[in-house]
Amino acid sequence: MDLELIKECEAKARQWLASPVYDEETKAEIRAMLENEDKNPLVDAFYQSLEFGTGGLRGIMGAGTNRMNKYIVGMATQGFANYILKAFPGQEGLSVVVGHDCRNHGREYAQTVADIFSANGIKVYLFESLRPTPEVSFAIRQLGAKAGVNVTASHNPKEYNGYKAYWEDGAQVLAPHDKGIIDEVNKVRVEDVKFQGCPELIEIIGGEMDYDYMTAVKEAMIDQDVILRQKDLNIVYSAMHGTGRVIVPLCLRSWGFQNIHVVPEQMVVDGNFPTVVSPNPENAEAMTLGMKLGTRLNADLVVATDPDADRLAIVCRDNKGEWIIINGNQTAMMFCYYIIKNKKALGQLKPTDYLVKTIVTTEVITEMARRNNIELRDCYTGFKWIAREIAISEGKQDYIGGGEESFGFLPYDKVRDKDAPASICLICEIAAWARDNGMTLYDLLMQIYLEYGFSLEPTINVVKPGKSGADEIKAMMENYRQHRPTEIAGSPVILAKDFGTLTQYDAQGNASPLDMPAASNVLQYFCEDGTKVSVRPSGTEPKIKFYLEIKDTMGCANCYAGCVERAKAKVEEVKKSLGI
């Protein structure tokens, strides 16, 4: 290991030991790292400062500059408070909402955040205990707050915690506020942080906000009658040890569902997530206990939320009665299909309605919108961009749903982030409607493929660690940019989009501008046979991501397996074409 780097990290660690700001517990942890012969933990903890990015903070908990701890949280909050005071100069009654999820140190960090905001003269609405991310987003709007913080690391492993920063519209911060907050945070030293709270400026909130949020969630309902007819739909729910444990069953009951079962082991609030390797609903392993209970109870479907209840997982039975996990693209497809079909059937669809999806989400939704004359908007990955579309059209057009391939959906506009409680209620309504029509959710998925065409959407991650890896990723992006592929797996590229330069090229190479709110390092290729390839480097990990979409025509419900096999073979050809 680099001796200079070790010396540098030891010097930073000793600065923490010499400072009166840090508590004894933190100093004991630092002493143990300094005394340890293995210097890896010390270097990991101090080689850089945990960066406050556009979404906030996320990192492993522990002592050090590159760790989540109350001091790093404190500096972030002081910078955020400074920015709020600058953004609303001289305004009386500035307020923020603060929440947290089930993670270790969550309450401690949330209290630290509340103390610092209040010490800066900003009123704080602090949730009494853990609450879902979407409820924090809702509360910001409901209370007329200027900003908000939710202490959560979403679906990351148990060692992590994080800090999501929200603005007055209830969405995660966008330009220019994101850069403004980052600039303020970067100016703060730990000595500048006002840790001593002002209790009279901290108001505890809970039950009343839960009631208001649950009332809002009911606005996502499309057809109460179908729920009443199928109120005994057999539902199994897992909270994954997190924030959905109380609110999701209550929301389901308020919609009219009466046959709700919970996975008892995963209803226990526990930041160590003892029943799963990782509390990520994308991982099949995390759904094992739910599926076991579903089998025992002969359930119609199994649903789950991640620890901060912004993302959902859906498990249903296939045509052989086996449990299968519906992937993120299929989830978004089902929601959009049902919203369009049933709003249309009930005469609720209006010319001003629109849907939103992210650019890497399946084009099956594009086809649905086209055939039904519904406006569909494509935006960048991340729900803050979907929230931006809602904000732009507020009062002029009606948002009826939006989602992304990573298991997030928002079926109404009262919240401005992914909303698993509302989405779970709606997917149960969809399952009730399917059963009302003699179908399962799986049958419904097959129906969508029959109507709008089959699609397989694998994501391929090419990991390139270290500085050499980062350089290699940069070179790969540059190579794709400079040498646009003219064909992929034998099919001509008919449209290429470069979101970095905001330019698109047709099959003849003619350039035209791309209308997007900002540049982003993403490349996209659309082929004659419907194949779509999106390429982007990960913002948080040393990897380059390829989102593929392979099309086919499905002649009958039993043709699904054949389509999957052909699509998998095509994926290999695409990989070869792209040199991955």
Active site residue 393: no
Exposed e or buried b per residue across 469-503, where buried means at least 16 C-beta atoms within 10 angstroms of its C-beta: eeebbeebbeebeeeebeebbebebeebbbbeeee
Question: Cα–Cα distances in Å, from 555 out to 456, 558, 561, 564?
Answer: 16, 8, 12, 13
Q: Answer for the pair 233, 259: CB distance below 8 angstroms, yes or no.
A: yes
Locate 158 and state its tokens: 């148990």
As a whole number of angstroms, the distance between CA 551 and CA 331 comes to: 17
3-class secondary structure, 381: coil
Locate 315 and state its tokens: 């498990």
Residue 94 has φ and ψ, to the nearest 5°, of -65, 140
**Which residue in this structure is represented by tokens 């392993």?**
285
C-alpha torsion sign, points 359, 363, 369, 373: positive
Q: Fill in the amino acid letter for 354.
A: Y
3-class secondary structure, 504: strand
Q: At what angle do helices 207-217 and 133-143 cross, to 10 degrees?
A: 100
As a whole number of angstroms, the distance between CA 173 and CA 160 comes to: 21
Beta-bridge mates of residue 354 = 375, 399
Q: Fill in the amino acid letter for 81.
A: A
Instruction: Name which of 249, 247, 227 is nearest 237 in CA terms.
Output: 249
Q: Exactly one of 154, 238, 423, 491 is catalytic; which is it?
A: 154
Contacts of 515 (CB under 8 A, 6+ apart): none
E strands in 235-379: 235-238, 260-262, 301-305, 312-317, 323-326, 353-358, 375-379
Instruction: Name which of 290, 112, 139, 117 is nearest 210 in CA terms.
Output: 139
Locate 296 and state its tokens: 């025992």
First and final C-alpha spacing in the chain:
31
As a whole number of angstroms, the distance between CA 312 and CA 280 comes to: 9
As a whole number of angstroms, the distance between CA 325 and CA 365 comes to: 20
Instruction: Name which of 185, 162, 297, 279 is nearest 236 in CA terms.
Output: 297
Instruction: Name which of 29, 51, 162 is nearest 104 in CA terms.
Output: 162
Contacts of 37 (CB under 8 A, 6+ apart): none
Alpha-carbon Rg for the chain in angstroms: 24
Residue 193 has φ and ψ, to the nearest 5°, of -75, 130
C-alpha torsion sign, points 104, 105, 110, 111: positive
Catalytic residues: 154
